[in-house]
């Protein structure tokens, strides 16, 4: 069986969809948000069990699943970049992941976990997954919690037979409907334009970037889940990998595509960036994808234009259809 944590969230539920698409249905879905609180994302999926997050470690340590687990895909975490409770982040993002890594090591089970591009900080040391993890300075406690686990994992002499830490860049796509403030700008823009016919974007506070010309590496969730399946299937070398498109695009590129797919004229309302986020705001992110391509992984299938079109036409404009 395959265990997917964070299965009742954005990327986790999309990964269950990807597994189902490949004919995998013996899946244990794990999440801190149970099905009584939210059942929409998993309602159309095939899986064998749902466990709450606090049950997983206990069940694994019981010995009842020692020869039954084929793979653990750990997407569950506190994903809020504004969370300031360091102990909470340590417990949920660092210590919990360590326990799963150690269990997979002991039982020789492949392990894949979600890291984050937040580990790269302001980008002054680049966005290269070859660079030692301790070389980066994350801008917030969330990024530090992810970085601390990356550093620890890379130091381990004993590891799972295959293990992968995936650093997600700006992921967008169906099933992100419950992320609230952490949802993608594509999702937020769609709803804002629907409501006001305009879109608010932050002005630039750096002279080397015009308003709206700040750049991000936007990657469609369907590419991310496809790559995660491919890593296991191809048995690429263990380690940490960037998951991004590999080409940075501007906020204006994103906005223009959303307006176009909604058949509206682009109308941007430029607003001041709040003082409290100016120091941690990233003006440029771009995943260095050489390591992925050297491992003979497939290239992304969804450009920003194609991804936004698919997302809006087949999901958002259809009452937030579930993947």
CA angle, corner 143, sides to 91 and 69, nearest 5?
55
The question of whether 179 is a catalytic residue gets the answer: yes
- Report the alpha-carbon distance of residue 294 to residue 297 in Å, rounded: 7
Q: What is the dihedral of CA 128, 133, 138, 144, to 10 degrees?
A: 140
- Report the alpha-carbon distance of residue 1 to residue 159 in Å, rounded: 20
The question of whether 96 is a catalytic residue gets the answer: no
Contact indicator for 112, 230 with CB cutoff of 8 Å: no
Please identify which of the residues 179, 198, 213, 288 carries the catalytic annotation. 179
Contacting residues for 165 by C-beta, under 8 A, at least 6 apart: 112, 113, 114, 115, 149, 150, 153, 239, 240, 241
Phi/psi for 96 (5° steps) reads -65, -40
Contact indicator for 319, 40 with CB cutoff of 8 Å: no
Please identify which of the residues 113, 142, 220, 311 carries the catalytic annotation. 142
Active site residues: 142, 179
């Amino acid at each position: 069986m395959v265990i997917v944590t964070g299965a009742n969230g954005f990327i986790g539920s999309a990964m269950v969809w990807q597994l189902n698409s490949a004919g995998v249905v013996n899946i244990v879905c794990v999440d801190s948000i149970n099905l009584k609180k939210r059942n929409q994302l998993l309602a159309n999926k095939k899986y064998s069990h749902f466990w709450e997050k606090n049950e997983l470690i206990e069940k694994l340590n019981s010995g009842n699943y020692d020869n039954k687990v084929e793979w653990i895909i750990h997407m569950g975490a506190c994903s809020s970049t504004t969370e300031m409770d360091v102990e909470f982040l340590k417990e949920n993002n660092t210590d919990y992941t360590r326990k799963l890594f150690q269990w997979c090591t002991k039982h020789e089970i492949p392990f894949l976990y979600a890291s984050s591009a937040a580990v790269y900080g302001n980008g002054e040391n680049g966005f290269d997954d070859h660079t030692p993890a301790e070389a980066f300075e994350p801008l917030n406690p969330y990024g530090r919690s992810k970085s601390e686990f990356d550093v620890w994992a890379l130091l381990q002499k004993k590891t799972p037979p295959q293990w992968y830490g995936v650093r997600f860049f700006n992921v967008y796509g169906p099933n992100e409907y419950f992320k609230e403030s952490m949802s993608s700008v594509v999702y937020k823009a769609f709803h804002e334009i629907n409501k006001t016919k305009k879109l608010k974007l932050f002005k630039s506070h750096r002279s080397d970037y015009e308003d709206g010309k700040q750049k991000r590496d936007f990657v469609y969730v369907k590419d991310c889940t496809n790559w995660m399946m491919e890593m296991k299937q191809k048995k690429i070398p263990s380690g940490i990998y960037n998951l991004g498109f590999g080409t940075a695009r501007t906020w204006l590129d994103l906005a223009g595509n959303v307006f176009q797919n909604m058949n509206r004229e682009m109308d941007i309302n430029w607003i001041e960036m709040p003082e409290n986020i100016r120091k941690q705001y990233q003006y440029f992110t771009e995943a260095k994808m050489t390591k992925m391509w050297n491992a003979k992984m497939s290239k992304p299938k969804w450009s920003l234009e194609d991804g936004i079109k698919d997302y809006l036409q087949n999901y958002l404009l259809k009452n937030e259809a579930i993947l």
